[in-house]
Amino acid sequence: MMPLFSRLKGTLAYVGYYRLCMGPERLTLVTTLTFTLLYNLAFWRSTLAGHDPTAPGTWLLAAGYAVVLTSLQYVVFLLFVSRWTVKPLLALLILIAAAVSYFTNSYGTYFDSTMITNVLQTDTQEAGELLTGGFLLHMTLFAVLPILLLSRIHIPVVSWRRALLRRTGYLSLSAVVLVASVFLMYQHLSPLMRNQPELRYLVTPGNYIVSMERVLATNDQVAPQERLPLENDASITDHPNQKPALLVIVVGETVRAANWGLNGYSRQTTPELAQRDVINYSEVSACGTSTAVSVPCMFSPLGHEDYDKSYIAHHESLLDVLQHAGIDVTWLDNQSGCKGVCNGVVNASISAKDYPSLCQNGRCFDEALAEELKRRIEQSTGDTVIVLHELGNHGPSYYQRYPDAFRDLTPTCDNADLSKCTQQEIVNSYDNAILYNDRVLSDMVDFLDQQQRFAASLIYLSDHGESLGENGVYLHGLPYIIAPDEQTQVPMVWWISGVMRKRTGIDATCLKTKADEPYSHANLFHTVLGILDVTTEIYRPTLDIGRSCRAPVILSGK
């Protein structure tokens, strides 16, 4: 036994002290080739879908793509490596590639600029939920071990003339290989990039690098010091001898229309709302597939068709227009922030210290948001708008979005690592969260209906949907052009009190007859202006859902 132990100890010592000698160019080539073969499984799965894996032609096609992929990234990486920078740079690339490959392989994530924005805006609690055992194991195998191996590589010292000659040779040869491979593969590459342009967001680690560069180049993460007003003419129509208006806008989080009980889902996930006199809109499209896109968009006068990220970032939101008109506006957040929408109005986040019985592990259930709403309403007097940004169904920890009392559908997925659960377990947890949200919204409606000081109304609208494993895709954030309906179709509910109907002249029966027509996030901005009788040139009556179902009022607009 001892001789065996001694030999093993000697072998480990030999491996530990042995250092492979390799120049920067060759080391970069080996690393880039490793990226192509081991870190791009999602790319290969999508690219070779529909091809017979046993056919020689498939292997030949894969080899051609591999040469293009490797030579393209190699040429770029080679421009930045030297004897001094090669190890730090490659270590960073390995770390990025390992993390990106985990999410592309496990959740079907596409790393475009929108996804990078989501990553940069994710709070620590959201990020912590993604640090699962599966992720840590993946990072150990695909980041830690390769970086340790990289550290053992010896980079020889050569003269600057020889280094320059060698670098020129490698660059020239790799450029020739790239051009030749693209030329030979053009008949396959051209239709692939034309019909599936989103595949470029699966090329790791290039997808992350290019998208990050675009985000930083556009300075998207820096809020403008002064936002431009949408219009300077906002005013509110006076309603003498009428109660002040109170509008509660509930921004749902990650709830998809497909699992919404009021939309005819096989499960009744909204049993309490079904007993309230609410108007349910069954065909509503989100502006984007992520909070970073949808929330700013839904509070802007733009929709998905004319979405302009720069315009939205540099202009005030719906909330500013309402405030300019003399309405008290407050944003209450139980999520990762308002994405700039509430910068000009009163805003606050729900604190676990204020509602300890409704919070756990640093997160508060949305009942805490409802309790804060009641407190704010008691302090309000004039025309008021309060926006609530829910925790909702944000994944992957769906099981943490509702109290144990709402664990109705079992078995549930009680793990942030969705790969540990069956799809049915994931759906059960997700639906339980909707059942809980149904209770929260119903309680809000009951409170608003019972209070006597305001002409009240509530609009609930989710920011985007969610994939729950359909076609191997999880969570959200896919490029809109390829996003499934599960990510783009969202629920919307409108409740209007009798007092508000009288104040505005809205016919709820008329609204219900139009509830199955197609709507989108673009309707929110103008519908809110309409119900509050805010006069401004930016108001578009054609996008106001309630306009055709109310008595004539004086509202200027296009």
Which range (63-67, 226-230, 252-256) has the least confidence?
226-230
Q: What is the pLDDT of residue 127?
A: 80
Task: Mark whether 310 and 450 lie in a shared domain.
Answer: yes
Q: Is the pLDDT at 328 greater than 70, yes or no?
A: yes
State the Cα–Cα distance between residues 386 and 172, nearest whole angstrom: 62
% of the chain beyond a pLDDT of 90: 78
User: Would you list the DSSP string of 86-110?
Assistant: HHHHHHHHHHHHHHHHHHHHHH---
Boundary residue ending a domain (175, 197, 217): 217
Q: Is the pLDDT at 100 greater than 80, yes or no?
A: yes
494-512 average pLDDT score: 95
Distances (CA, A) of 461 to 318, 350, 386, 434, 493: 15, 20, 14, 13, 7
Task: Mark whether 30 and 98 lie in a shared domain.
Answer: yes
Dihedral sign (CA 375, 378, 382, 384): positive
Residue 2: band (very low, low, confident or very high) from pLDDT cuts 50, 70, 90: very low
Residue 5: band (very low, low, confident or very high) from pLDDT cuts 50, 70, 90: very low
Boundary residue ending a domain (178, 199, 217): 217
Task: Mark whether 183 and 298 lie in a shared domain.
Answer: no
Q: What is the pLDDT of residue 220?
A: 55
Q: Is the pLDDT at 430 greater than 70, yes or no?
A: yes
Q: What is the pLDDT of residue 511?
A: 96
Question: What is the chain's mean pLDDT, rounded?
Answer: 91
* 25-69 confidence digits (pLDDT tens): 999 999 999 999 999 999 999 999 889 989 999 999 999 999 999
Domain hosting residue 204, numbered range: 13-217
245-263 average pLDDT score: 98
Question: Quick check: is 222 in a domain?
Answer: no
**How many residues appear in the chain?**
558
Question: Quick check: is 526 in a domain?
Answer: no
State the Cα–Cα distance between residues 165 and 161, nearest whole angstrom: 6
Question: Quick check: is 189 in a domain?
Answer: yes
- More reliable by pLDDT, 121 or 291: 291
Q: Is the pLDDT at 208 greater than 80, yes or no?
A: yes
Task: Mark whether 144 and 272 lie in a shared domain.
Answer: no
* CATH code of the domain covering residue 413: 3.40.720.10
- More reliable by pLDDT, 89 or 550: 89
